[in-house]
A and B are shown apart, each in its own frame.
Chain A
Amino acid sequence: MIKQISALAGVVISATAITLLPLGNLQVGTPPAANEFQVQAKALSLICPGAAMNSGGANGTSVGSFDRIGAVSISKNSTVGISTTNVGGATLLSASGATEQGSAALNAGQIQNAASARLNGLLGASCQAPGAQHWLLGGDTSTGRETLLLLSNPSSVPATVNLEVYAEGGRVQASGLSGIAVSAGETQVVPLSSLIPETRSFAVQVLSRGASVGAWLQQRTVRGLLYAGADFVSPVTEINKTLSIPGILVRGAKDAAALIAINDDYKDLIPALRVFNPSDKTATFTAQIFGANEKTFGTVVRDSIPAHSVKDFEITGLADGDYAAFISSDAAIAASVRLPRSDKTKKPNTDFTWLQSAQQLGDTQQITVPAAGISKLALTNSNNQPVNLTINGVAASIKAQGTLVVKVSAGAVTLKISDGKVGGNLVVDVSGAITNLALVDYRNSGSRVKVRVR
């Protein structure tokens, strides 16, 4: 019997040992490496949304009717010649022959100070590189708010676009969000207000198949009978665990408070932080709103966002001044700030703009400041070290977790960031109306492409 028991024990022990054996990985051979190849970069193209879109025709009652209102002013700069193409009212700018890519090769933005019976406000957007995927974080389809999605296809082949909309309760299921055909060289308008009505906060993912498209949200606000505010929402350029949003230039805070006190419909005059959590788990974030100088005191917003949902957080208690938001989260999130502008002496008395979290940029960057109004370049340094830079040759420094706001004149502004990275938004104020142009460094496949040959 001892033999039997010994054999049994031997097998059990061996099986257990084999089972518990900690094994690493033994790599046998190497896969083919991706080698870099020198290429002539494709001409950098940026597309601007074009003039603001009016829905409903002249009297606003014609369903499915969209027409452009007024004209835009495009401020652009390039090291080479720029060609323009009309894409269903949008404008495609192409800088062919540029050896280097990025904002220094081509940058452009558009603003439009719309003043019409059906749409008022300063609309602006940085012109964007067409892409297959965009995240748009902004907009509102609650009562008195209208949001349109503009899709422009500058290519020579048709594109099919599918939308994924996320709101406070998670992903929104609605008809009309998928299989949106965008003809080659055309712009298609998708009335989100009809598809997802009464949704105060949401994020839209645009997924294009067939061709790259440009995508924007256009939001307009009507308070009673007064069309009071409009802007474009440009795509998110950063989804990350740490984000910064420069350019929260609060003006007319007292006016806003007064307006809110009179009418609840003015409650959106309080700046708000919109956070979208695209991950599969709940994200907990902390947004610190820092002032640009010792005289401005910020605030802190700390909360959590369920997976695949969007939420707005009012940033209360901000006095007039220049601020920036620094956000850290335990999961990659996207964030934007709705920045209202109030001046009860004017009519319309309100406007707003959606500031997106800034792309972190280094080296040399360029932005072209529009000729109209007052433009202020707001920069943030999310790092723990100060960043030194020059703005049109003038040296400046941004402290760690700090912001810098400088007034800039019309024309090209060149940033040379010697160390670290900064994010930037250009905030434009035209007669109390506000918009912003994000500082974005668009690049095609650069002069080097990594290819693995199998």
Chain B
Amino acid sequence: MKTFVTAIIVSHNSTDFLEQTIAATKSQNVDQLIIVETGDAENPNAITAPGASLPEAIAIAERNAAPAAEWLWILHDDSAPMQNALNALLQVVELSPSVAVVGPKLMDWTDRKVIAQQGLTLTRRGALFSLVSDELDQSQHDAADDVLAVGTAGMLVKRSVYLALGGLTDGIPPLAADIDFSMRVRLAGHRVVVAPQARVAHAALSLHGKRDRSWLRVTPKSALRRAELQLRLSFAPLPSALLFWFFLPLLTLGRLVWRVWTKRPDRLIGDLAAGAWAYFTIAARLRFRRKDSAGARRAMRALYATKQQVRDEKRQNAEQEEIDARLEAHSQLAERDQSSPNTEQILLGVGNTSKSFAAAGGVWFAILLAAISFAWLPVGQAISGGGAMPLSENWFELFKRAGASWQELGGGLALPADPFNWVLLAIGSLTFWSPSIALIVLVFLAKPIAFFGAFKAISLFTKKTWIRNLGALSYALWPALTEAQTQLRIPALIAQLVLPLLIFCIAKVALFGVELSVRSRQQIWTWVGLSGLLLAVEVAAAPNTAPVLIVAMIFVLIARIKRIGYLIWIALPTAAIFGPLFIFDILNFPLALFADPGVPQGVATNRGWLTLLGATIYPLNFWFLALITAVPLLLGLLALLTRRRAVALLSLGLGLLALASARLAAAVQFPAIGATDSSGELVSGTPHALMAFWALAVIAAAAITLESISRRRALQIVAASLVALFVLPAAALTAVSQPIGRWSEARVMPALIAAQAARGAEVRVLVIDSTKQDLTAAVIPANGIQLEDNSTAYRYAISKSSDYSAAVGQLAADLVAGGSEKVTRELSAVNVGYVLVPKSQAVQIVDVSSSLDAVAELESAGETEFGKIWRVRNFQAEAIQTQESLWSITKGLQLAILISFILLAIPTSGRKRAAGTSEIFVDAGESND
């Protein structure tokens, strides 16, 4: 007797696919065909149920099925049965009466020799898992039968069982409905099997995001996660389910970290949204809990994916991932010249022929550069002078200042901290027990680091190792870097070290450079992470580089518009750490955004020729400077006559923009007085990072010139000239240079006051300095002013007088005048327990000291290395200090973004990194173990 089968096609606005599916279904000898249209497409042969979900649509169709119908064959509009699919399905159910649900082998819609899916299951951790995916059908999986679940596309289900179980559950996530139904079928004692002989072509429109949003209601990625969470809550024992829900926020957080670690930032929003959805709709989730015994669960677990299956999937996905990434890279480089690697080379990863940094002898050059930097060899815990100050001795203080929205200076002000504090935190964290040590080591190793960065950057322009080494040496020895190192311009120095690495990393993301090294998407995300962090460091250390970098990024975007999906993320960390200061400056002084962080340290002159030659003061004299930089400048210009003049022109064009910006930067005057006292009221911008940009552009162009010289003799002469006239004199200049600071302990206050601060006493210090014209007074914390206390916003904020500044001014005036009867009250009103007059050669200081000696309320506490101090007799703290929290919402957000980029930037190794199940359910890189 023939089995009566009613085919149900659920359609959702996909008329093109539907027509093919109807045609294919009619050829299957079905007894009845019911079409349900859930979208707004017009279909005269269909039952229209706009807005109905898949379970509702199937229920409607079932109600319209002929009473004789024994089996329901559920099809989607994008699942067209292939020849004899129904017969093959029916053959299975005829042979095995216990089978209540049977699924077909789903084939790829476009390539029908490739298996897209053949049965579904779960991993031990509850992730959805397709047992077979993206495999060429060679009948290798035709022996399969029992599975945990089958998808609804092509599912043949016994009508009686369907009715007994109440059909597919409406209200649970769409992608969980089929697995939920299949598992309920199994719990009811029936079998769920696949029929490999039955083949159905499936386009998987929902999972590929090709349906409108109303079908899944959320993005496919979020829908997948929702399905996993629902199944976990439905089938786990109640205590486990509740525990799972309780820890869901933590689990979600961990999952987000893991997503970033595995370089899948595209999955963050989906996972976060699904986690929140499950957590806040727990009551609704628990309504769909299924009653299952421990024995039934054990039985079903036998059908879960094995570890081996998961591992195999991971490996397969990783391989596919690499191939996809390389092909993607190649497709975007199709316009490149003949010398670029071909597809085969890219796939085999043999595009690289140059030596690595170590193989090129870079390490030896780095050691040599460290050796000639002996004047910076750290012999103390910190260095003070020029632009250098110690960092806080306490790492937590350093952490508190990063991203802070409250300045402790004076009476306390709600002001955003400089983004540069994040850079200082990062550096200080390397030696968290004494953060200043990392800073002085960085200053010492500036030249080797610059050499490494420049080696990488110049490798974008040439494959020749010796040119890379020579170019990198030129950058490391460029006068601007030596000057910044000598004058201890910490932010400018960091910006110069980071610049070449930033250019290298962005070039990697954008696929620029003479060599390609594309291993996987994960690797590109690593470059994205590194680029994002380096850009943030660069702009935080030298905000005046931002306009040039923006122009450069626009060029990159225009040239590689298809990479915008990666490139756009690079700006995120910079935007995050600059956000609060950006808003503050825009509302007050927009140009203040370009004020240099750290200790205000301008340049004495703004001479064009000096800037062009890479210095703001003569290292020896003009002719020495001109002589040593003449050769690289000349070689850079000659690149415009070579075959690769377009690259040279772009490089030099950006360099000229940087040069012009450097001159403009030095012409801008910012207020100098702030956390630290300054020799002048105004300070110019610092052009060193921009001069380094210009230098790098020139050196890159010079590298092109050198590479284009084919005559060996000429090349020898030019290279020898470069070494003799630039490298050696510049190295000698470094060797004889001395930093303008002095090595010291990390403490910035006299031991007596520092001890008070360490005890946590609510005591502040009044610092009085004197110039010929007037006095400068400041109330500072007892632990003193460290490098991270400098704030550009504070320098602007104090230009407006306040009640607090009036009180401090009056106090200082009264003390310097020899005291008055109000002094005791004034001291306690601002919690001043000590008065410090810094060491100075100024004669006026002695007059101030003499006056303070005469103040009855003060007693001299001696002369220290920081100046003379007086203790306030009978000190009483009256003012309530606002306690600054370590955290704020903005800081949390900034930190989250920075940590995410740090995780992105850390390369994940080999096969482990790329994981995933079937492409049907999860994009490459998804892990299911």
User: Which one of B663, B795, B796, B846 lies within 8 Å of A21 (CB-CB)?
Assistant: B663
Interface size on B, residues (CB 8 A): 74
Smallest Cβ-Cβ distance to A131: which chain B residue: B847
* B777 close to A451 (CB less than 8 A): yes
* B799 close to A449 (CB less than 8 A): no
User: Which one of A14, A39, A156 lies within 8 Å of B813 (CB-CB)?
Assistant: A39
Instruction: List CB contacts (< 8 Å) of B321-372 with chain A.
Output: none
Q: Is A23 an interface residue (CB 8 A)?
A: yes
Q: Is A4 an interface residue (CB 8 A)?
A: yes
User: Which one of B588, B609, B673 lies within 8 Å of A19 (CB-CB)?
Assistant: B609
Instruction: List CB contacts (< 8 Å) of A1-51 with chain B.
Output: 3-5, 7-8, 11-12, 14-15, 18-21, 23-35, 37-43
* B611 close to A19 (CB less than 8 A): yes
CB-defined contacts of A21 to chain B, threshold 8 Å = 608, 660, 663
Using A23-B664, A454-B673 as known contacts, say yes or no to A40 and B817 having CB atoms under 8 A apart: yes
Smallest Cβ-Cβ distance to A37: which chain B residue: B813
CB-defined contacts of A237 to chain B, threshold 8 Å = none
CB of A279, distance to nearest CB on chain B (Å): 17
CB-defined contacts of B595 to chain A, threshold 8 Å = 28
CB-defined contacts of A33 to chain B, threshold 8 Å = 799, 801
* B818 close to A4 (CB less than 8 A): no
User: Which one of B795, B796, B810, B846 lies within 8 Å of A37 (CB-CB)?
Assistant: B810
* B816 close to A15 (CB less than 8 A): no
Binary A-proximity of B541-564 (CB < 8 A = 1, otherwise 0): 000000000000000000000000
* B776 close to A42 (CB less than 8 A): no
CB-defined contacts of A11 to chain B, threshold 8 Å = 637, 640, 649, 652-653, 656
Most buried by B among A27, A131, A211: A27
* B850 close to A29 (CB less than 8 A): no
Report the Cα distance A28→B796, complex, angstroms.
9
CB-defined contacts of A40 to chain B, threshold 8 Å = 814, 817-818, 820
Using A445-B817, A450-B773, A454-B798 as known contacts, say yes or no to A212 and B809 having CB atoms under 8 A apart: no
* B810 close to A211 (CB less than 8 A): no
Report the Cα distance A53→B774, complex, angstroms.
38
* B663 close to A132 (CB less than 8 A): no
Report the Cα distance A11→B796, complex, angstroms.
38
Smallest Cβ-Cβ distance to A159: which chain B residue: B846
Binary B-proximity of A412-454 (CB < 8 A = 1, otherwise 0): 0000000000000000000000000000000011000111111
Instruction: List CB contacts (< 8 Å) of B807-834 with chain A.
Output: 808-810, 812-814, 816-820
Q: Is A210 an interface residue (CB 8 A)?
A: yes
Q: Is A240 an interface residue (CB 8 A)?
A: no
Using A132-B846, A452-B673 as known contacts, say yes or no to A18 and B660 having CB atoms under 8 A apart: yes
* A211 close to B853 (CB less than 8 A): yes
Instruction: List CB contacts (< 8 Å) of B555-607 with chain A.
Output: 588-589, 591-592, 594-595, 606
Interface 9-mer from B19-27, B380-388, B674-682: B674-682
* B817 close to A39 (CB less than 8 A): yes
CB of B845, distance to nearest CB on chain A (Å): 7
Report the Cα distance A35→B777, complex, angstroms.
11
Report the Cα distance A208→B853, complex, angstroms.
15
* B817 close to A28 (CB less than 8 A): no
CB of A422, distance to nearest CB on chain B (Å): 25
User: Which one of B649, B672, B777 lies within 8 Å of A31 (CB-CB)?
Assistant: B672
* B847 close to A132 (CB less than 8 A): yes
User: Which one of A28, A209, A453 lies within 8 Å of B809 (CB-CB)?
Assistant: A453
CB of B678, distance to nearest CB on chain A (Å): 9
* B671 close to A29 (CB less than 8 A): yes
Q: Is A155 an interface residue (CB 8 A)?
A: yes
Q: Is B487 an interface residue (CB 8 A)?
A: no
CB of B691, distance to nearest CB on chain A (Å): 12
Smallest Cβ-Cβ distance to A22: which chain B residue: B608
Instruction: List CB contacts (< 8 Å) of A49-75 with chain B.
Output: none
CB-defined contacts of B611 to chain A, threshold 8 Å = 19
Q: Is B775 an interface residue (CB 8 A)?
A: yes
Report the Cα distance A454→B769, complex, angstroms.
11
* B673 close to A42 (CB less than 8 A): no
CB-defined contacts of A210 to chain B, threshold 8 Å = 846, 849, 863
Using A210-B863, A452-B775 as known contacts, say yes or no to A19 and B808 having CB atoms under 8 A apart: no
Q: Is B667 an interface residue (CB 8 A)?
A: yes
CB-defined contacts of A5 to chain B, threshold 8 Å = 641
Q: Is B626 an interface residue (CB 8 A)?
A: no
Report the Cα distance A37→B808, complex, angstroms.
10
Q: Is B112 an interface residue (CB 8 A)?
A: no
* A29 close to B592 (CB less than 8 A): yes
CB-defined contacts of A209 to chain B, threshold 8 Å = 846
* B667 close to A24 (CB less than 8 A): yes
Instruction: List CB contacts (< 8 Å) of A163-202 with chain B.
Output: none
CB-defined contacts of A20 to chain B, threshold 8 Å = 608
Smallest Cβ-Cβ distance to A212: which chain B residue: B850
Q: Is B272 an interface residue (CB 8 A)?
A: no
CB of A319, distance to nearest CB on chain B (Å): 42
Q: Is A207 an interface residue (CB 8 A)?
A: yes
CB of A40, distance to nearest CB on chain B (Å): 5
Report the Cα distance A28→B854, complex, angstroms.
41
Smallest Cβ-Cβ distance to B681: which chain A residue: A31
* A to B CB contacts below 8 Å, 22 in the list: A3-B645, A7-B645, A8-B641, A11-B656, A20-B608, A21-B608, A23-B664, A25-B684, A27-B669, A28-B595, A29-B670, A39-B810, A40-B817, A208-B846, A210-B849, A211-B850, A450-B773, A450-B774, A451-B816, A453-B777, A454-B675, A454-B677
Q: Which 6 residue pairs of A and B lie closest in terms of their CB atoms, listed nearest first?
A: A42-B818, A132-B846, A19-B608, A37-B813, A450-B774, A39-B817
